[in-house]
Structure 1
Amino acid sequence: MRVIRLTACLTGAAVLALGCGPGADEQPGGRTEITLWQQKFTDQEDAWYKKAVAAYNKAQNKVVLKHQIVPADAWDQKMKAAQAAGKAPDLYTLNYNKAPGFARTGQIQALDPLIPAAKWTGLQEPVLRSVEYKGRKYAYPMLVEPSAVLFYRKDLFAKAGLDPNRPPATWAELISYGKRLTTRDVSGVVTAGNAIDMAWSTWGMQWNAASHLPISDDWAAPRASDPAYRQLLQVYQTLYQQGIMPKQPLAPYADANPIGQGKAAMMVCGSWAASVLLSDYPQLVPNIAAAALPSFDGDSAKPTATLGGWTLVVDAKSKHAQPAADAISWLLAGDTKLLVDYFKTTKFSKYSPRAAVADAVKNDPAAAENPWAKIIEDQVVARAKPEPTYDWAISLAFGKAIEKALQGKDIDAALKAADAEIKEFIAKNDLAGQGS
């Protein structure tokens, strides 16, 4: 809790009793207080943030950084309430696809004037473009992680007469493999199974199917009814209707446990699954392989995933924008050892967009602990597209179309409905021309 500023210094005995308190954003000793809100991640990641904040505070004599972890399901409500009350944190975690939108609506500050140009060198250009709006940079990248990787059980492949060293190259092949791998106790494929999870986990597949997303680049027109998307919806319909994927999701899409628990022969999940598998199922690691998702036409050079991840931003109404930006610079653009420790903590299941950190990670002997890291980097990360930055409603409209197909409804009608929903959203929110 921040110390309340006294409206005037008291005199006499009252002064002796209370003293003249420090300012609302000051700690005893004249240190300026800034606040960091971090969305809750894994326990290991949360512990890294606490350690990093402690190291930052130890290195400062004029600023103190207060750190708070906020559960993901409470984040939006808590942030809106804090903003309405004028108590929003000075800096906070934000995923890439929200950064341009937050900049457009004036919720975060441009960081170019606050963080020196030298601190931006060495960051991957596609990642930098993900945090830009009208030529200004509004978020500092911390990590990237592909949204979709195919993890599979080599022992179950061999048992089904499949080559453990040859993952499916096309979706038709994946369906064929899935049929052979499905048993009473094991699902051939476990992947997203509801509109919300399918809305974001299929961004890479949307690119792979149609070479574009369901809205035009300038956000002026819907593109969900492109016939090229039929093959994407057909995959989900086939997997579900033929019992290759479970009728009820075994876990949320981001959860890697089904393959570790022996409930899935193939599992589509983000690269973060590696951290769970290495930590919780070490005995199974030799029997698990990773590969890029199949391509619809078999061309492995095409994207099958998008690159998401997290950044730090400064709130638009922060009264301490410069100290907040300095804290971001110290945490993310300073000593590479701090961030190498983060990637080590997460079992090298995420990737640094900053060249100096990426090089340091590769030279760390501990990186060999993740046997899938290089495969994912070379086959998935290298070909992935940045996450889209349009409103979540656009993604959800397409996710609902996939869900309808999964439930056995007409695919063309589902795509047409998504197209109409996106068109209506464009008109109501005056999106035309706001895309890049």
Structure 2
Amino acid sequence: MSTTRRTMGAMSAIAAAGLVLAACGGTPEGGPGDAGDPGGENGGVDVPADAVEVTFWQTQYTDEENEWYEAVVEEFNDAQDEIFVNHTIVPGDAWDQRMTAAQAAGNQPDLRTMNYGDISDAARTGQITSVADLIDAAAWDDLEDNVREMVTYQEQEYAYPLLVEPSAVLYYRTDLFEEAGLDGPPASWDELVDYADQLTDDTTFGLRLAQDAGDMAWSTWGYQWNVAGHLPISDDWSEPQATEDYAPLLQAFQDMFESGAIPPADGVGYPDASPFGEGRYAMMANGSWAASQLLADYPDIVDDVAVAAMPSFSGQPGETTATLGGWTLVVDGASDVPEEAAAFIEWALGGDVDVLVPFFEATVFSKVSPRISVAEAIAEHPDVDDINPWNVVIQEDIVPYAEAEPQYPWGISLALGEAIELAMQGTPVDEALEYANSEIQTEIDNADLAGS
């Protein structure tokens, strides 16, 4: 670890103090967390005279998650005077524009949140720097092996993870299943299509899936693995592989859309569980994170909701139908203060267990810790299964079989998402797959991906 002894002494003192985090409701306006002023003037907070300032941009999440980040940054800043983290929350729909503008001006943040799927490409292109030697070995050794691999590029760790969460869980209304004479969740995609049709009536759609190419691009990764046994690009990224193996997936979307079991797009993104919570759907595919929204905003339906793994195309249990995604912290490749930025990462995500358990409590255990010690502490929590009644199924039937989300450039995923959308809208499946292969080949050529 290359941080100074003096800095690490301060970090240890902070960790020993621990954190007591309370959800306050809403996202504060103004100050370091104000999304309206990235890289602003610290909201009137005094920066210690000799402190090294680290700018930190965080993607906007739920109120509970935002409050946890804000509290962690505040405690870190209050507990020592050697590093000051200037924290900004940036709405997701503004992220790309603001980051591009900041990079063009040379004032991009030192530290930022990043999802797993972007790490490899960002490392390959020098957008982020390796933190392998900037964070203590004990923190790396505390990670589950598969998640450590997810933050590694060419044998160097480039990010430290906060959480993993499966991208696809089947939520279903047991009361509506009973009314329709259906016993338990569908076991195969053929059954899923059939159930969706049976559950559709004048007031309720059978199934909510991703509704546009952007959401289809990533929410279907697990289904892609399941139906085809591979992703739509070769392992060496040299040629497209959106083969006819994917045809059953595209056909299922097409059939359900034609039957009316899944509706035209309503403008609500895949991660938002509100349409299901409002009773407009009998089944919903969504990530594990949807549990926190349903429990908080729709308690009246909780007793009538069960979860299961999304079905496999073979009809067999224990197959991959979800990917593990989530969020990490990374240090910008152009940062002048990488050691100080990494010191905050180590303290906030890789240090005292008591710093992290409140995050999982605040999100009603709808997310999974990749750290062994934190997962053990959560498992000992006396109220986990009472707080989140779907926790056991997600942990036992979905997470162990989930694959890491792919790390090739986004354009590859988007090409297949667009193909699924085309098929859903009526384009013949073989033509939609031809389109995907053409777009993937263009991406390979333009980004010089072959062999990378």
TM-score normalised by the chain length of structure 1: 0.91
The equivalent of 2:371 in structure 1 is 354
The equivalent of 1:374 in structure 2 is 392
Does the alignment pair 1:144 with 2:157? no
Q: Distance in 1 between matches of 2:264 and 2:359?
A: 37
Matched to 1:420, the amino acid is S
Secondary structure of 1:289 counterpart = strand
The equivalent of 1:198 in structure 2 is 216
The counterpart of 2:407, out of the listed 383, 389, 398, is 389
CA contact 2:212–2:265 (8 Å) conserved in 1:
no
Matched to 2:237, the amino acid is W
The counterpart of 1:89, out of the listed 84, 93, 109, is 109
The equivalent of 2:451 in structure 1 is 433
CA contact 1:344–1:366 (8 Å) conserved in 2:
no
CA contact 1:291–1:375 (8 Å) conserved in 2:
yes
Does the alignment pair 1:155 with 2:175? yes
Query: 1:212-291 residue pairs with structure 2 within 5 A?
Result: 212-224=230-242, 226-249=243-266, 251-291=268-308
Q: CA deviation at 1:426?
A: 0.9
Q: How many residues in Structure 1 have an aligned counterpart in Structure 2?
A: 408
Structure 1's unaligned 5+ residue stretches are 3-25
Q: Distance in 2 between matches of 1:142 and 1:394?
A: 26
Q: Distance in 2 between matches of 1:296 and 1:385?
A: 16
The equivalent of 1:5 in structure 2 is none
Matched to 1:180, the amino acid is Q
Q: Distance in 1 between matches of 2:264 and 2:330?
A: 40
Does the alignment pair 1:363 with 2:383? no
Q: CA deviation at 1:423?
A: 1.4
The counterpart of 1:338, out of the listed 341, 355, 371, is 355
Q: CA deviation at 1:152?
A: 0.4
The counterpart of 2:198, out of the listed 180, 195, 199, is 180
CA contact 1:32–1:63 (8 Å) conserved in 2:
yes
The equivalent of 1:57 in structure 2 is 77
The equivalent of 2:51 in structure 1 is 31
Q: CA deviation at 1:250?
A: 6.2
Q: Give the % identical residues.
A: 51
Q: Distance in 2 between matches of 1:417 and 1:87?
A: 39
The equivalent of 1:11 in structure 2 is none
Q: Distance in 1 between matches of 2:189 and 2:250?
A: 12
CA offsets 1:1-57 (integer angstroms, 9 cap, x no match): 99xxxxxxxxxxxxxxxxxxxxxxx93431221111100001111111111111111
Structure showing greater radius of gyration is: 1
CA contact 2:144–2:370 (8 Å) conserved in 1:
yes
Matched to 2:321, the amino acid is T
Matched to 1:98, the amino acid is D
Secondary structure of 1:275 counterpart = helix
CA offsets 1:351-382 (integer angstroms, 9 cap, x no match): 00100001111111231210111101111111
Deviating beyond 4 angstroms after TM superposition, the runs of 4 or more aligned structure 1 residues are none
CA offsets 1:366-408 (integer angstroms, 9 cap, x no match): 3121011110111111100101111111111111111111011
Q: CA deviation at 1:162?
A: 1.3
Q: Distance in 1 between matches of 2:226 and 2:132?
A: 34
Q: Distance in 2 between matches of 1:288 and 1:344?
A: 21
CA contact 2:324–2:403 (8 Å) conserved in 1:
yes
The equivalent of 1:167 in structure 2 is 185
Q: Distance in 2 between matches of 1:86 and 1:251?
A: 35
CA contact 1:192–1:249 (8 Å) conserved in 2:
no
